[in-house]
Amino acid sequence: MNSMLILMVILLMNLLKIYFQHCAHKLTNYTSLRAKKVPWFPRFKRDLDIVANEVLDSGELEADHPGFHDKEYRLRRDKLAQVAKDYRFGDKIPAIHYEQNEIDTWNTVLDKILPLHHKYAAAEHVRLLPLFEQNCGLRKDNIPQLQDISDYLQESTGFSLRPVAGLLSTRNFLYGLAFRTFFSTQYLRHHSRPLYTPEPDLIHEICHSVLFADQAFADFSHQIGLAAIGATDEQIEQLGRCYWFTVEFGLCKQGNDVKAFGAGILSSFGELEYSMGLNPNEKPKLLRFDPFVASKQTYPITTYQPLYFVSDSFETAKEQMIEFAGTLKKPFNVRYLPYTNSIDVDSNIELEKHVFIKPQESPYAKESNKM
């Protein structure tokens, strides 16, 4: 009798254990089904419409801008800005009829920087220049249209261009890269000082665009953008520094030589010569690229860079960025779905309402390409 009672007690305990495990499993499932609220980010490429017009400068020129007192130039800038503001996902980028003074400015700058590109730019950039001439109309006497460049990039690496009226916050700019999209201005620097611009202009943007036709570079840039999805403000600042020291002011090792690939260097003949160590009075410091180091490194925005990071290759830089992004603590992991132009996450989330809060400043807000 006692043994029977013991067996019944054991059986009852096992049944209770199974029951409580079942309840715990159901509770876990219920908890996981409850969506976690997270700050807004674009889930689809069309969502870039929401952030594209959140420009920091509202098209206003600083008092020391070469075109500040030029009424015609300011009206021209406003007209081109409106083209960008009217653009929506899926539209063709309107063709711009560039005026003769703009073509002359373009010609003057290219006449100065193209010989230096062939000598000091990364081999990938040099290889792509004639392809941009053939497919995008990149010539000294012709300013390429963004749509032609975008079409070529789409066919080459799946990247595309999107017109923008002015400077974006670092976060919103990197969101574009997450969707393999590069925000590009369409205006040119003022014709009175063709070898100087206080902000990124179309010449600067096209120096960017060339390398987006290289698969390894495009994939590296994409990884920086993906890392921005779900990132905190501090993490965005770190990613912005990685972008600055590569896509903007990066150097790379090619054989026994160091070559330039950052558009902030390639669009400025002065910075290009300086970064190559051609200034006899002052030499920049060079460090091997490491995102764990670059993400903590501050930089000046109105002078030549005292420090440049040298990447082993674009492929290596991409793997380094993937490793770095994996250390950023975020509430979910992401992947890009190219067939639907969307971001997939591994958690059940609910996006908070998007509210644009203008940052105090952007690392690109006062960029100065000193020629």
Q: For residues 136 and 148, what is the distance between their CA atoms, to the nearest angstrom?
A: 5
Q: List the structure tokens of 297.
A: 């490194």
Q: List the structure tokens of 212.
A: 């987006």
Q: For residues 9 and 366, what is the distance between their CA atoms, to the nearest angstrom?
A: 77
Please, are residues 28 and 37 in contact by the beta-carbon 8 Å criterion? no
**Known active-site residue 54:** no
Q: For residues 335 and 343, what is the distance between their CA atoms, to the nearest angstrom?
A: 6
Strands 369-370, 196-197: pairing kind: antiparallel
Q: For residues 250 and 261, what is the distance between their CA atoms, to the nearest angstrom?
A: 6
* From 117, 125, 191, 204, active-site residue: 204
For 11, 120, 361, the CA distances from 56, given in Å and listed in that order, are 70, 33, 8
**Known active-site residue 125:** no
Would you list the DSSP string of 309-366? EEES-HHHHHHHHHHHHHTS--SS-EEEETTTTEEEESS-EEEPPP-----S--TTTT
Give the angle subtended at the CA of 240 by the CAs of 284 and 270, to the nearest 5°. Answer: 35
Measured on CA atoms in the order 259, 288, 324, 322, is the torsion positive or negative? positive
Q: List the structure tokens of 58.
A: 């509202």
Instruction: Give the residue among 209, 174, 229, 193 at the shortest CA–CA distance from 371.
Output: 193
* From 54, 248, 271, 367, active-site residue: 248
Instruction: Give the residue among 54, 56, 52, 41 at the shortest CA–CA distance from 89.
Output: 52
Residue 77 carries which side chain, given as an amino acid letter? R
Bridge partners of 197? Answer: 369
Instruction: Give the residue among 202, 160, 204 at the shortest CA–CA distance from 368.
Output: 204
Where do the DSSP E strands lie in 57-116? none
**Known active-site residue 267:** yes
The one-character DSSP state at 158 is: S
* From 150, 184, 221, 267, active-site residue: 267
* From 208, 209, 221, 311, active-site residue: 208
Residues with active-site annotation: 204, 208, 248, 267
